[in-house]
Every structure is written in C-alpha cells, then in structure tokens.
Structure 1
C-alpha cells in the first residue's frame, strides 16, 4: 500500500500502522543492539510516527527533516563545495521550519565578487606572499595589490562569532581579504566559508611575535591619532605617507578610548585606506557603528534593504558547523525536537557563582505562559496561568533549555511532568548539557556550546537572556525576534517590570556605542533612523527595520 493512501485514510488505518511499527521494532531492536545503535531510537521513532498518524496529518516533518528546501538560502551560498567535508552547509535548511529572509540580489553578487578576491589574494597566492614580505619589512606598501583585515579571536564563543561577522562586513565594504585568527577553536568549529581558499590565518604569521595587541601597542590606531603620529589634515588618501607603520591595530575592546572610536568617523576611514594590513580586536557586534559612516551608507542600503537582517544573512553565510558539531546537533534534533508540533528554545544565561534563582524561574515560566509560548499547568493549590494566546491546534511542544546550570531545566521538567497542562498539550522539556562552568579553550565545551546555539536557532519560538551574545547569535541565525528576559534593574527600558519583552529586532546589540559626531564627541542613537538603543543594554545600539 502506498504511503499517500495510508496518510489519506489515517484514522481507519492507524491501528494497522501501530501493529506494523510494533512488529518492526520487535524485529529490529536486537539488531540495533548488535550493531551498536541506540536502543532508545526505535521507541522515539514509534512514538513520533504513531502520534503523527493518529492526528491524521500529512506533514511528515515530525519524522524526518523536510526535503523541499532551499539549500543555497536564496543564493547566499554557492555550489561547488565538497559536501562530505561539511554536511551542515547544504543540509541545514532541511532542519528549519522558518525559511528566513531572502538576501538582496546585490548582497549575493557582492559575496560572489568577494569570494574571487579571497581566492586571488588569500593564503597560498603570490599576492599574499608579497604582502607578508612587505609586512616583515616594517614599511607600509604605497600601492598594494591586495589589502587585508585580520580578526583577533578571543573571549566566549558568542563574542567570537559576532566579532568575526562584524569584521567580515567591514572587509566586504572596504574590499579587504578577511583572515580569522584560528585560535580558540575557530578552525574546529566552523567550515570554510570561501570556496577553494581559506579564511584562517596561516601559522607563522609574523605579527604573532608581538607580545600582544592591546592599549600599549605602538601601532594602535587610537594611540597614533592621540599622539599626532597620524593626522587627517595631512593625509591625501591617495598614497601612504613614508613614516606610516606597516600595519594599524584597531582596538575596540571594552576599554577603548574616544580616540579608538574614531574608527567610526569618515575622515579616519579615509586614512585607514592607506594601510595594507589592519588587525582588529573586538568582542562586540560593531555593525551598527558602521551604519553611521556616510562613506558606507549607500552600499549598506543596497546590501541590506531590510536593516534588521544583517547578522541573519552574514551568519548564515559564514558559520556552518563542522561535521563533528553537526552530528551533535542532528542527533539531538531527531531524538528531542523532530517529533513536536512546536519547538521552544529557552536560553538561560547565569554565571557559575550565582545561586539558583526562583525569581528568574518564575519570570521564565510566567513569560512563556503569558505570551502563549507554552501552556499553563493545572495545580490543586493555584489556578492555571491564562493561556489565551496559546494556539488551540498545538498538541505537543518540545522545549530545549540551554544553561550552564541544570536546576532551571529540572524545575521546568518536573512542572510539566507532575502537572497536567490546562489545554491538554503534551510538553517535554530537555537540556543538552549542563557544564556548570564556562571552560575557555576546552574543545568539548566549545563544541557543545556551538551545538546548543545552533539548536536554539532551529526552534519556532525563542526566549533569551538579556545582554547574552549566546542568545544574540541564536536569534540571528534563526531569523526570529525573541522574547527577552530583561534585567529587573535595567532602568529606562520599556517593559523592564514585565517578566520578558519582545525584542524590537532580531539583530544583536552593540554593547559599547560609538560616537556619531566625530568633532563634538556627542552620544549616538538618534542620528540614524534605523539604529536604536537596545532594551537589554540601554547604552547599546541595534539595527531595526
């Protein structure tokens, strides 16, 4: 009997299906054990298949990822990669119910041109070798064939992802080759984004002999501007001055000075064009600051006509999990998410030294129930929370919680296990891992963190913790505006007395706002209509549509 016939008459044949599947599992279960498979897999398979057929649904996405998908993401990605070397690049679209936003044709064409630049000037080419020799000489190239931007990787994974995306956009706008510092597992977490070349800075890069790049680095751009070594009134922008160093170091860390923030001024951008090599240190999403630059505004308008899609597109282009991480993602997805009609992600950012907070748990449960993300529960002592916003057709929800601590997961799991839901909905709560502490530089920890960010991005609804770059990356990849758990002491933010607030944009927040008036050093946030202050970080900036 054909599958289509079975689905069309699912109610009549459901008992046959149950019998067939049960017999099948009885047959294959011993084989699963013999060949080392998971003994839990058949049980999950039967449960989800029977549940789907019992509802008479013709949607098989509860069982397998959907096959009708745009694996190139509207032209964002390019054909030609070895699929075996990076399964996630062309498979990820199968796991997303939300197809995301479509990139502009101009962005697609710009990416294709930039890929040519990366291949022509990247590591292993004659142009790159010549540029390295020029760098070793200590002198700046007057008319370089190719120019370069090196992104320094440091701090947590979310920070590194946002910094790399920011550096790539700047490289795209200034026609520079992007090279990413491979330390902190940047080479083990992500597939190569550029065809037939690498974005990883090769070993032996001469500047790594420096003691480090920080405030006291002589070539720090802000320091050179402050000391008068570089002056905009004597630079022509057409040729490099003889006394200019071989590179400039852009310092945009938390302790950046107002002179470092001159990076976001047009005259200074004109001066930076004279450097063949730029090194950028930031752990922030600096993209909103680039929208202040008049020199980039026309190009940015064409690249991103929808202002709130910058990281959504850049993240989807750059960050593809390596095969090991993709295995973590897909195995969890099939076991814990694929069966549910609705998938809800909850990201709880707490620090190891913080005690478990019943108040935060209350905010999470109140937020998810009042906003209709999850149903209320029937309790003998207290009435159920109103679920007026909950879709009545939803009968099953899978919740994935990501947190260093297990306590929040345990509490929510117990709540939905020990109490019936007000609308009869089945809610299953899971947590992939609970590491308790953030382990910098530990491979297994980094792999799990990246897998959990990606799993959050595969959900239908998302709750995040304010100020968390982990959550920013997930919401951007997902193309979702999350419900944000705001700091109750965040004065001046709309809705800070509520358990959560719907974010105005899926874009990440730039925590340390740049100066928009480069002469009067005034505050930012009102000069560009599509840049607003963030709710979770009132002094920060984010792009909105």
Structure 2
C-alpha cells in the first residue's frame, strides 16, 4: 500500500481553486481579514439604514449563525455539513495536506451528495487528538525508536509512552478495508497508534490518511517472523490462554511479566480462547502490551460495543451507532491519484448526466450457478421495489439520439453475462415508463486476483463508483458491497441467497442499516458475565443476509 507523496509527471495538480497550492496561512489571513471587514459592515450599517428608511437589522440572526459556526457544530452536539462543497466533510477530514498529492481527499465532496449522517463533534475532536498522537509516536519518531528498542530486547517495562496496533492484510479488498477500519476504531479506543503492514497487492491504492507521519510500518521492523503469524505462534493470545487455561486464573498471563508483543487471531474460525479478546478482563491485560498485531477477515467493530469499558466512549463517538464504518471509512480510505483518475473518467463518461444512478453489485460464490437465475432475481427485486422500470417486449426501441439517460445502471461483477443480458434488454425494448435506461459495467475480471495490484485498483475504483450511486442493490454476504454501502451512507436492497436455485420470496430485503455485518461474532460468554445478544439488543441486530451475524443499527 505505497502512498502517493507527490503528483507524477502525468498527474499534475489541478489548477482549480481547490488545488491551486496557495499556502493555507495566506488563505487564512485573507479570510479573517474579509471576515472582520464584513463584521464591521454589518454592525455599522444597520443603524444607518434604520435611520434612513426603517430597515430591520438582521444582526441578531446573523450573530446566532456566527456562534454556531464558531463552535464548529450544531446545538445538539453534531457537526453540520455545509453542503456538497464542504471539502472537510463537516470536520471529519483534517486540513494540512498538500491537496495535489491526493486529489480525491477534497474533490470527493463534488462527486457525492452531502452526507445526511451528521458527525458528532466529539468524534471530530478525537480524530484530531489521534492525529497528534500519530505524529508524536509514528514511524521513525524518537518515541517509536524507543519502543523498537524494547521490542528488539523483548522487554516490556512500560516506559516508552507509545503503544501500537499493527494490522496485517488478509483476504480480498473488501475484507481488508473492513478489518482495517475495525483496527483503527480499536486504536482510537485504546489510545494506540495504528500501523499497517503493506504488501505488493495494495500498492498505490490509498492515500495517507494522517497528516505529517505515515501509517506504513517501516520495512526494518525487527519482529522475527513478521508477518507470518498463526494461531500456533507462542505470541498468539489464544495460544497463551490455552497454555494457561484462562487469562483469569491464579497463574494466568496477567500474573506474569507482560510480553512486548501479542498476536490477535480474529479470523472466522477462531475459537473460544481467541474470542476472549472481546472480554473486559482480557482487555485489561492487553492494555499492558505495547505492540498488538491484529490479523482478521472479519468486520469486528460491532463486538467492541460489548466491552463495558468502551461503551461510554463509543456512545459519544457514534450517537448514531450505524455510522461507524460510514465515518471511519470516509476518514481513512481515499483513492490515490491513479485510482481517482479511473473513477472520475468513468463517472463523467457514463454516470454524471443521469437523473438517477442505480448500483447493482453481484457476487456469485458458486460459479456453477446459472446466470439467468441471478438476472431474474435482480429484475424481480428491482421491479418490486420500483428501482428499475419494466420493458415493453412487444415494442421495438425508439431512437434515443440526444435523449438524456434517466437511469444509469452501474453493474459490478467478476463476470459479464448478467450485464450483457440486462444491457440488451434495455437497448432493444423501451421502458414502459418512457425512461431511457443505460447499463454499464467497468470490468469483468472473471476470477478474483487478490494478490494482483491492477486487479485491486479496478476493484477499489468500482467500490467507490458504487458508493456514488443513489440506490444500491447488493449480494448477500459480500464485503465488497458492505464497503460500498458504508462509504455511500446507503441502506441497500440485499439479494437473498437461495441454495436450491429457486426464486426467494421476497427476492431482496432492505438493509436495517448501512453498517456492515460482522459475520462471525464471538460466542464465548466471558466466564458467564456477558451475552452480547442480550446486552446490546437495543442497537445490535442479526444481519439480514446472515442470521448468525451481527450488525449495528440506529437506536430509534
């Protein structure tokens, strides 16, 4: 996951106002100067106008707006978005970046509607606090080097002052983005610095999210065998507990001198010992470990809400519980200039002029499934929910020259059969509503190539394009679709899986929330003290597409 630090020769920064490269201090001084002049004008002139012609001064209303603006948020503790031109997304994103190095960070506000899901003022402050921590403790800083020396000597004397979460990538791009967001949330809750171990398949995908200091783990990281961990590694927390029988026994790991590093195995096949990561007593022990290494294929953020010591902080960060990935995903994941060019060129060519954009994300887990079955289910869902119009098979298409596309349908799939059939249907026959429907598919790679950089760039571009749609239909269990819905703040219609190739009734179901599903939540009872289903019933539900999974919902 190499990060763009300067524009390439073929990708010069835009000369528009947003990317003109004017120093921020000069802009700030000019803005403040104009502000003082305007304030003086509004204070002095209303009395003059009142004397001359009975003009009613707007000053009290204007001063109220200034007070709200100065506080950086609304009366209820949320930060207001100033519309689609609010390039800092209501205080979510930090200032301080050279905009030409990552055009998407601030240009994205021009491509998507302003989010209706307001950011809590507390989350904005915590992100700024985290950025200061990252700058102080990030790679190659004095404090980082001090903790590295402890790691080399396998000592944990707790005096370095900085603690870390190291994320190791695994599985496909959707899984990686979900687990990375979960790891960052855990870093926020525990005042740790998030560092990621990049691999070749993730080069040139994401811009650096934190100002001043990289989130990439340096190549000279000294841990032996890194990153080839497994659940059998002596540093694996589950193995430590299996060896000690319990982290709460008289001779448990907490009673020993804490190690300098612990590996957390949070995969779909983890056992009760690995699941103890989500228990309060175990978290108390893990706070003593300066280096935690996380590897997972799960969006485990929902189960962090089950840990008592984090509940209050999480409720302040996310008063609307289902906005966790929406806010953190938009904060962390910005396409590099290379990927952003792919996104913007395709969007302008096929989607920009449409009155409505419909995203259809198809994941076929069983390659032997007939494509016509999937197409029939998509059409049944789309017609039932009035997402797409039916066609008149008895009439030929009338020339659509110079007619504006009413609905642009963006299809993403590894295969092209469903797209070809749907495109032909709307190309050869008119819609019964008279609408012009265009169907588009950016790529069809046939097979998932997780380790290929070019494949991941296309996947990231398509996820982002799906997140720019107005309406979204997704496949059950697909993390690709989860990321798109979270970034876009969309509650999709989820295509219900059918094992026997019969049409499900209903063919699709509206998602309860935009937050992704945690496919494999912990089932251990934390020594009988806690049951996640009972404790979190008010804002956690079982997933629409996987009954054993859990997801965060807005507590109405």
Q: Which TM-score applies when normalising by structure 1?
A: 0.81
Residues of 1 paired with 2:512 and 2:532: CA distance?
18
Structural mapping, 1:427-466, within 5 Å = 427-466=437-476
CA distance in 2, matches of 1:248, 1:87: 37
Matching of residue 340 in structure 1 with residue 376 in structure 2: no
Q: What corresponds to 1:537 in structure 2?
A: 546
Moved more, 394-403 or 501-510: 394-403
2:521 counterpart of 1:505: no
Structure 2 counterpart of 1:141: 157
Distance 1:93 1:244 in 2: 46
Q: Matches of 1:67 and 1:285 in 2, distance apart? A: 30
The residue aligned with 2:525 is 517
Q: Does 1:411 align with 2:421?
A: yes
Q: Which segment is superposed worse, 398-407 or 434-443?
A: 434-443
Question: Is this contact kept in 1: 2:276–2:524, CA < 8 A?
Answer: no
**Which residue number in structure 1 is paired with residue 102 of structure 2?**
86
SS at match of 1:509: coil
Return closer, same or farther for 1:210/1:93 CA change in 2, 3 Å cut-off.
closer
Q: CA deviation at 1:203?
A: 0.5
**What does residue range 314-463 of structure 1 map to in structure 2 within 5 Å?**
314-351=328-365, 353-380=367-394, 396-463=406-473
Whether contact under 8 Å (1:148, 1:176) holds in the other structure is yes
Displacement of 1:520 after TM fit? 3.0
Q: Tell me, in whole angstroms, the C-alpha distance in 1 between the residues paired with 2:506 and 2:343.
A: 33
Give the superposition deviation at 1:358.
1.2
Matched, 1:270 2:284: yes
Change (3 A) 1:355 1:233: closer
SS in 2 for 1:484: strand
* Mapped partners of 2:325, 2:227: distance in 1: 33
Decide whether aligned partners of structure 1 residues 122 and 234 sit closer, same or farther in structure 2, where only a CA change above 3 A counts: farther
Aligned residues: 462
Counterpart in the other structure of 1:468: 478
Distance in 1, matches of 2:326 and 2:418, equals 29
- What is the alpha-carbon distance in structure 2 between the residues aligned to residue 496 and residue 365 of structure 1? 13
Structure 1: state its 5+ residue gaps: 1-65, 382-393
Q: Is the 8 A contact 1:251 1:281 kept in 2?
A: yes
**Further displaced range: 348-357 or 149-158:** 348-357
- Describe the shift of the 1:68–1:162 C-alpha distance in structure 2 as closer, same or farther (beyond 3 A): closer
Residue 176 of structure 1, CA deviation: 0.1
1:204 maps to which residue? Answer: 220
Closer, same or farther: CA 373–235 of 1 in aligned 2, 3 Å: farther
Give the Cα separation in 1 of the matches to 2:181 and 2:257: 32
Residues 223 and 164 (structure 1), Cα distance of their counterparts in 2 relative to 1, 3 Å cut: same
Whole-Å Cα distance in 2 between the matches of residues 428 and 527 of structure 1? 47
Give yes or no for contact 2:165–2:294 (8 Å, CA) kept in 1: yes
The 2-side partners of 1:370 and 1:496 are apart by: 13
User: Which residue in the other structure is 2:87 paired with?
Assistant: 71
CA deviation profile, 1:95-149 (whole Å, cap 9, x unmatched)? 0135341210000000000000000000010111111111111222333310000
Residue of structure 2 equivalent to 1:16: none
Q: C-alpha separation between the residues in 2 aligned to 1:458 and 1:323?
A: 18
Which residue number in structure 2 is paired with residue 4 of structure 1? none
How has the CA–CA distance of structure 1 residues 427 and 319 changed in structure 2, closer, same or farther, with 3 Å as cutoff? same
TM-score by length of 2: 0.80
Q: Secondary structure at the match of 1:299?
A: helix
TM-superposed deviation, 1:489:
4.3
Q: Distance in 1 between matches of 2:227 and 2:288?
A: 25
Q: Distance in 1 between matches of 2:506 and 2:221?
A: 50
What corresponds to 2:186 in structure 1? 170
Q: In structure 2, do the counterparts of structure 1 residues 325 and 235 end up closer, same or farther at CA, with 3 Å as the change threshold?
A: farther
* Structure 1 Cα separation of the partners of residues 252 and 273 of structure 2: 20
Using the TM superposition, give the Cα deviation of residue 527 of structure 1 relative to its aligned residue in structure 2, in angstroms: 2.2
